[in-house]
């Protein structure tokens, strides 16, 4: 495995079986697998699903993947040799699908953006996406499921929770992977929301969240002063919304940020 890809293959059979059982695929399911590796999980998924699109970039392991599929007479897997960040999901898959992935930890945030899009630009395939199951570095998993008023709460939290309801299904020790990473992992489910919260101007909301967290140790009203033209204006908006002037970025829920964005538009 080339270190630059940041990928660690899950080799523990018990956890592979646990993943397959908890996903509970049906014979009608189509799956996009991110980071197929040598195909240990791919083979298990193929037994249950209608079709697997197995995405893998590293050429040194692609031969193992193809050999394993051939050796096991698997015919419902299409190997896609590309960088997941360059892949057009909508062009590749023309029906509803699920995503399963043991993703490279060094590009986790980029992959989440690829899957969901951004608040002001949702991914074009989002309406076809049924469910997402990803193996994440445990620290990142804690961030995506974080609650307000915690250190783990971040712009990534708000982004992911805007599009989905994430939950950690189980923790996976580092010894279950090859090469062995320095940290533990977690298998996370992202339940796609049927309806996204209504936002008047998503670009403004995105800007407010980004600006607020850039200075997360400061009081939010101070951090947003330039955005709201002056500190006095920011204070006035906070008071109108009945927000405590001592609030910091991690204290607000998404609905609070949406209220701030709407107030900004109408100031």
Q: Please name which of 217, 175, 201, 191 lies closest in space to residue 257, comparing C-alpha atoms.
A: 201
The domain spans of the chain are 3-192, 202-265
Say how many C-beta atoms besides its own lie within 10 A of residue 21's C-beta: 11
At 125-177, the pLDDT tens digits run 999 999 999 999 999 999 999 999 999 999 999 999 999 999 999 999 999 99
Q: Is the pLDDT of residue 3 over 60?
A: no
Q: Is the pLDDT of residue 1 over 70?
A: no
Q: How far apart are CA 117 and CA 236, in angstroms?
A: 33
* Overall average pLDDT of the 215-227 stretch: 91
Q: Is the pLDDT of residue 34 over 60?
A: yes
Architecture of the CATH domain 3-192: 3-Layer(aba) Sandwich (3.40)
Q: What does the pLDDT read at residue 25?
A: 97
At 38-97, the pLDDT tens digits run 999 999 999 999 999 999 999 889 999 999 999 999 999 999 999 999 999 999 999 999
Q: What does the pLDDT read at residue 6?
A: 58
Report yes or no: 254 and 262 within 8 Å, Cβ to Cβ: no
Whole-model pTM? 0.94
Q: How far apart are CA 221 and CA 237, in angstroms?
A: 9
Q: Is the pLDDT of residue 235 over 70?
A: yes
Identify the helix (H) or strand (E) that includes residue 98.
strand 97-102
What proportion of the chain, given as a percentage, has pLDDT over 90? 89
**What's the whole-number average pLDDT of the chain?**
94
Give me the CATH topology for the region 202-265.
Helicase, Ruva Protein; domain 3 (1.10.8)
* Overall average pLDDT of the 16-31 stretch: 97
Q: What does the pLDDT read at residue 224?
A: 93
Q: How far apart are CA 117 and CA 125, in angstroms?
A: 9
């Amino acid at each position: 495995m080339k270190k630059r890809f940041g990928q660690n293959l899950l080799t523990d059979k018990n956890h592979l079986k646990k993943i397959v059982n908890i996903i509970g695929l049906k014979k009608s399911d189509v799956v996009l697998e991110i980071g197929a590796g040598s195909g240990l999980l791919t083979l298990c998924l193929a037994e249950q699903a209608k079709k697997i699109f197995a995405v893998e970039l590293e050429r040194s392991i692609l031969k193992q993947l193809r050999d394993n599929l051939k050796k096991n007479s698997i015919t419902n897997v299409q190997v896609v040799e590309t960088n997941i960040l360059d892949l057009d999901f909508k062009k590749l898959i023309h029906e509803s699908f699920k995503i399963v992935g043991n993703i490279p930890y060094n590009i986790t945030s980029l992959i989440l953006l690829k899957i969901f899009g951004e608040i002001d630009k949702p991914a074009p395939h989002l309406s076809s996406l049924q469910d997402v199951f990803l193996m994440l570095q445990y620290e990142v998993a804690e961030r995506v499921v974080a609650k307000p008023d915690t250190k783990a709460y971040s712009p990534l939290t708000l982004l992911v929770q805007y599009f989905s309801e994430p939950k950690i299904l189980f923790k996976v020790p580092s010894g279950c992977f090859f090469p062995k990473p320095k940290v533990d992992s977690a298998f996370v489910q992202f339940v796609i929301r049927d309806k996204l919260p209504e936002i008047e101007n998503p670009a403004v909301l995105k800007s407010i969240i980004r600006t607020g967290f850039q200075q997360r140790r400061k009081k939010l009203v101070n951090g947003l002063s330039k955005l709201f033209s002056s500190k006095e204006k920011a204070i006035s908006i906070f008071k109108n919304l009945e927000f405590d002037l001592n609030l910091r970025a991690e204290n607000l829920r998404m609905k609070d940020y949406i209220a701030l964005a709407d107030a900004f538009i109408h100031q």
